[in-house]
Amino acid sequence: MVSESARNVRVVALASGKGGVGKTSISVNLAVALAREGQRTMLVDTDFGLANAAVMLGVNPPDTIEDVLEGRLPVEAAMHVTGDGLRLLPGASGVLADTAPLETANRRLAEGLRRQSETLDFVIVDSPSGVQPQTMRYLAMSDRVLLVLTAEPTSFMDAYATVKLLSLDHGYTAVSVISNMVDSEASGRDLFGRFHDVASRFLPADLRYLGSLPRDEHMRMAIMRKQPCVTAFPESRATAGLARLAQALAAHDIPPSSGGSRFLGLEHLDGVA
């Protein structure tokens, strides 16, 4: 059974299909913005090849999600708490968890997150680019998916492939969208509208618009400083956009794909691991 407090935590996974569209930048900055607003937040980097969230936060913790998946450490020992009170479960560099027995590994992660969830409002899950089975599994196990979309046709195509696999293979239909690197809020809305028109014509997907982020060089400059943009450049347009997105997530919420926190509902793992 999943306790009531575990059900209250919102597990939000960031996805995109295509790499380089800003998924990790948005995950890190949203997680920091939520933590700074007093939301008890954990950031889980599920990238087992190129773990960038820790770098963007400017930390270098010794333990990673690999230690949890392989049973060497519980989540509470492997996680790192930043100055903003954000709990980070770092990704691993250069390992592939697909070599571990998946059901056992995923169960260890889910059990650890469920223990933490008693004291959490948000779990933000950053996922690798691509549509590898393990990536799709973690998306489908989260209860809310935020799709990062840019105006490039390749982003459009790969986002479509992600929604297709989520909806057709995993029965996961509710997906919220952030338009990134846009010139204006109007063009962000327009980008979402075009994606919505195509995807909802062919897929059983319920797509919602969460908002947009302007193209802003401060996002890249912040990475060079190994700091989140919301900390390094509080007056930037990107930080204003990220704060709006964090507030929208915290205040209005986005609909879960099916009730409850699926990452934390261990019974769900039996079907997907």
Q: Which residues bind ligand ATP (CB under 6 A)?
A: 16, 19-25, 52, 128-129, 180-181, 213, 215-216, 219-220, 223, 238
Distance separating alpha carbons of residues 161 and 271, to the nearest angstrom? 22
Q: How far is the CB of 65 from ligand ATP (least distance, A)?
A: 15
The Cα–Cα gap between 223 and 27 comes to 13
Nearer to ligand ATP, 11 or 53 (CB): 53
CA pair distance 14, 240, nearest whole angstrom: 19
Signed CA dihedral, 29, 30, 32, 37: sign only: positive
Task: Report the nearest approach of ligand ATP to the CB of residue 223 (Å).
Answer: 5
Nearest to 28 by CA among 88, 74, 115, 97: 88
Give the integer Cα–Cα distance in Å for 72 and 235: 42
66 versus 216: smaller Cβ distance to ligand ATP: 216
What's the min distance (Å) between Cβ of 215 and ligand ATP?
A: 4
Our CB check for ligand ATP shows the closer of 188 and 265 to be 188
Q: Which amino acid is at 239?
A: T
Kindly tell me which of 25 and 231 has the beta carbon lying closer to ligand ATP: 25
Instruction: Answer whether 235's CB lies under 8 Å from 203's CB.
Output: no
**CA angle, residues 90, 52, 216, in degrees to nearest 5:** 130
Which residue has 């973690």 as its token pair? 138
Give least dist CB 109 to ligand ATP, A. 20
Between 112 and 128, CB nearer to ligand ATP: 128
Q: Whole-angstrom Cα distance, residue 174 to residue 143?
A: 9
The C-alpha atoms of residue 1 and residue 265 are separated, in whole angstroms, by 8
Q: Binding site annotation covers 21?
A: yes
Q: Tokens for 76?
A: 């509470």
The minimum distance between CB 28 and ligand ATP, in angstroms, equals: 8
- Closer residue to ligand ATP, CB minimum distance, 6 or 209: 209
**241 annotated as belonging to a binding site for a ligand:** no
Cβ neighbours around 8 below 10 Å, total: 13
Short-list 61, 12, 31, 42, CA closest to 230: 31
Q: Determine if residue 25 is labeled as part of a ligand binding site.
A: yes
18 is in an annotated binding site: yes
Residue number of the CB atom closest to ligand ATP: 19
Q: Is 167 among the annotated ligand-binding positions?
A: no
Which residues are known binding-site members? 18-25
Which residues are known binding-site members for ATP? 18-25
